[in-house]
Amino acid sequence: MTIRIDGKRMAGDLTARIAAETEALATEHGITPGLAVVIVGEDPASQVYVRNKQKTAQNCGFKSIKHALPADVSQDTVLRLIGDLNADPSIHGILVQLPLPKQLDETLVTQAIDPAKDVDGFHYVNVGKLAAGHTADAFVPCTPAGCMLMIEQQLGNDLSGKSAIVIGRSNIVGKPMAALLLAANATVTIAHSRTADLPAITREADIVVAAVGRPNMVGKEWLKPGAVVIDVGINRIEVEEDGETRSRLTGDVDYEEAAEVAGAVTPVPGGVGPMTITMLMANTLRAARLASGLGD
């Protein structure tokens, strides 16, 4: 029987541990992790994400600050705010909600964040440390970090002898995911839109991470029996139900088909998504400890 990997439950358990460690940090050392979120404009999806992040931060016992800027804000204003947050010792993590309006240079903004406060793991210093395997004081992007915990839950920390395929080569998910799998001794293939015979390559993998943004692309004919399947995709599609057109979320993997073949698979929603936000909290707690000289 296929295991349904319950990301919501995993995230809840991890959030509880983070809250307990946060309380201990405050009691023993007088330190409260501080997370600042910067959001530009009124994009509805971004507003939802930021509310969820703030709610989780508060549940963890963090100091949580939101800076809401107008959609027409200037680059200089955003960079000044980031500079102020970099210099604020009560703020240990800084997150700029993406995407940004067109007048803002996304790279310039994300690279302005102090690498020691870059809890999204987007700064090139943290990217380089992950690629080189030097992660003792680096931050891993939250979605791949959460995916890795799910994989380890099923297969353990050492993936020696396991083959993995990451479908998608983004800087946010695909590339860091591959680096984490390599660090765990998996043999890794990165596939993308120009990969020839993608279904055949995917069928060889013990671990499949789908992160391409194509609804239900990966079906049972793509999968090796017993594979662990991590679905990072979040796609909104229109479906007919009882004569009405409704909108619902689906992943890059056809869950019902995958469940016929896979050893374990994440659902959408309720899989990777909740873990992403929780890993942001884990990174922020870690940043607070590192900033205080306490280590991990």
Active site residues: 53, 97, 120
The strand pairing partners of 54, in sequence order, are none
Query: Residue written as tokens 């990072």?
Result: 232
Q: Give CA–CA dist 252/210, Å, rounded.
A: 6
CB-based contacts of 68: which residues, under 8 Å, 6+ apart? 39
Q: Dihedral sign for Cα 273, 278, 281, 286, please.
A: negative
Residue type, 161: G
CB-based contacts of 254: which residues, under 8 Å, 6+ apart? 216, 217, 218, 219, 220
197: left (phi over 0), alpha (psi -120 to 50) or beta: left
Query: Residue written as tokens 């809890």?
Result: 119
CB-based contacts of 102: which residues, under 8 Å, 6+ apart? none
